[in-house]
Structure 1
Amino acid sequence: MRYFIHLSYRGTAYRGWQTQAVGASVQSTLEAVLTQRLQQPVFVVGSGRTDAGVHAQQQYAHFNLDIPIDFSESLIYSINCILPEDIAIHGIFPVRANDHVRFSAISRYYQYHISRQKNAFCNGLTYHFRPELDMERMNEACRILLKYTDFKSFSKAKADVTHFHCRLEFAYWVRSEPDRLTFHIKANRFLWGMVRTIVGTMLEIGQERMSLAQFEQIILARDRTVAGRAAPANGLYLVEVAYPPNVTAHWPEY
């Protein structure tokens, strides 16, 4: 039987989603707790590999079991009691054998949060960035971004991919509070480090340290060395992983 896990986590204490040789990861922590509670080895696959320090409001993972198990509310509660406070499982449910959290997904949606004022309750959850930003110029850059599909300039150099094409559905900035800006971006796939590098480059545009023409040339260059530095991980959130109706038809509501 294959099961999907719907979970969320605060990434501050972890070296990212994927199991690492040194340091705790979300994947290894989840596997250890499920193995302990279910009394059999459990290996999980994630819908995406969030970097160290990146958070997930919605993440999916799957695992296989030889014997069917009823993941009742009480069983899930007991698993959550063993998990650290910064990882929460919202549901575990059976799916078809060929449903895959990564390859069946059709889109991912990220947000990046910037606070211009220090906030004692948001430490590690937003990027505290004091300089004034021209949000209209940053949204003009977003409109340029949407014209393209090749984002090699925003991918980490050692990305293990066969191509650098991503279909963006939207990209825009909003001022959600007087002192907070949020970047929204959704695509069918993302490259390693792509969102943080786009944000870091747009901060240059927002400070008028880079022109819109220069930004477009960065995209066309297909060269990571010409883009801005990546924004810190603590402001980035995976907020939605979407699947087609034939996958979600019998999913429970959470």
Structure 2
Amino acid sequence: AFDGTNYHGWQKQQNAVSVQEIFEQALQTLLRQPVETVGCGRTDTGVHARQLFVHFDVEEGAGFEERGASKNARLISRQPSTINQPLTINHRLTASLNAILPKNIAVKTVLPVAADAHARFDATLRSYEYRIHFDKDPFKQNYSWQLRDFPDLDLMNKAANIIKEYRDFSCFSKSNTQVKTNFCVIKEALWRQEADGSLVFYIAADRFLRNMVRAIVGTLISVGKKEMEPEAVRKIIESKNRSMAGMSVPACGLYLTEVKYPYIPST
């Protein structure tokens, strides 16, 4: 998990500090060998993560094994479905990493798994939340987006239900992302109001395109402001044109909340 406020996303970049860079430095300090990590996906600058799975390979005998732990170690990744023994948490490495990582990055669990595990390709479901508040609050400025007027929640949920009917989300993707397909299967998309009056948009899918969630939220907010009808979302999606969709809302309100694998129990 991490607070993304001061990071340029998860993935390493040449001229900016990323979560992956800081995390790999911590691993290399502990294991005393070069380590390359693979995340379950990438996040944009300023986006937060409550759960993000990563895998890495290390040489056998790296020095952090615990009793009953496999020497093929990967961080919070998978165990093939053909292997039925329970996953063993490596408490020693978890504690050691948290001791040297900055306060805005935390390791929740380390699991030793098979050598063919892959944090990105093995994930079956990813979910995000986007948070919106209305009263000016200096303690929320990096963790939620402030709107002036309350949008129509019913209209936004009608539009969100329409989005679930489609698979090609080219209209919500950044251009030139070099992905093989813009098809995604959205399992859930729902707005809810919290007890404090704030709004949360929850969306879950098998995969997401770059900037997709923020573009969807911007489009749904336009519906909630009655700048367009819910049915207009159909025309936007069918156009496959990013310029037809709404604005990309600020990154500060977006959280990667859960990633699911068929062999790791949900937490």
Q: Which TM-score applies when normalising by structure 1?
A: 0.91
SS in 2 for 1:110: strand
1:110-121 equivalences under 5 Å are 110-121=128-139
Question: Would you say 1:56 and 2:49 are equivalent positions?
Answer: yes
- d(CA) in 2 for partners of 1:67, 1:128: 50
Does 2:9 correspond to 1:16? yes
> How big is each residue's C-alpha offset from its partner over 1:165-184, in whole Å with a ceiling of 9 and x where there is no partner?
10110101000134200000
Partner SS state of residue 45, structure 1? strand
Partner-residue secondary structure (3-state), 2:142: coil
Gaps of 5+ in 2: 67-89
2:180 is aligned with 1:169: no
User: Which segments of structure 1 move beyond 3 Å, counting only runs of 4 or more?
Assistant: none
Asked if 1:39 corresponds to 2:32, the answer is yes
Percent identical among aligned pairs is 40
Distance 1:39 1:178 in 2: 47
1:70 to 61, 65, 69: 65
TM-superposed deviation, 1:123: 2.7
Aligned partner of 1:136 in structure 2 is 154
Counterpart for residue 224 of structure 2: 206
Equivalent residue, structure 2, for 1:5: none
Q: What per-residue deviation string (whole Å, max 9, x for no partner) do you get for residues 57-96 of structure 1?
A: 0110000011243264344223212111100001111111
Any stretches of 5+ residues in structure 1 without a counterpart?
A: 1-7
Aligned to 2:236: 218
Query: Does structure 1 conserve the Cα–Cα contact (< 8 Å) formed by 2:91 and 2:110?
Result: no
How far has the Cα of 1:222 moved from its partner? 0.5
CA RMSD of aligned residues (A): 1.5
Alpha-carbon separation, structure 1, partners of 2:205 and 2:92: 36
Identify the match of residue 246 of structure 2 among 228, 233, 249: 228
Distance (whole Å) between structure 2 residues aligned to residue 73 and residue 34 of structure 1: 15
Counterpart residue number, 1:104: 122
The alpha carbon displacement at 1:120 in A equals 3.1
Do the aligned partners of 1:42 and 1:64 also contact (CA within 8 Å) in 2?
yes
The answer to which structure has the higher strand fraction is: 1
Bigger RCO of structures 1 and 2 (CA < 8 A, at least 6 apart):
1
What's the TM-score, normalizing by structure 2? 0.87
Aligned to 1:3: none
Task: Indicate the larger mover: 103-112 or 170-179.
Answer: 170-179
| Other structure's SS at 1:76 match | helix
The 2-side partners of 1:97 and 1:74 are apart by: 20
Does the CA contact (< 8 Å) of 1:111 and 1:182 recur in 2?
yes
Partners of 1:109 and 1:241 within 8 A in 2:
yes
CA distance in 1, matches of 2:32, 2:196: 50
User: What residue is the counterpart of 1:155 in the other structure?
Assistant: 173
How do 1:185-204 residues align onto structure 2 when only pairs under 5 Å count? 185-204=203-222
| Superimposed CA distance per residue, residues 11-53 of structure 1 (whole angstroms, 9 cap, x where no aligned partner) | 1100011101111101111001110121111111000101111
Q: Answer yes or no: is the 8 Å Cα contact 1:117–1:179 preserved in 2.
A: no
SS at the partner of 2:234? helix
Confirm or deny: 8 A CA contact 2:128 2:258 kept in the other structure.
yes
Equivalent position amino acid for 2:247 in 1 = R
* Alignment size in residue pairs: 242
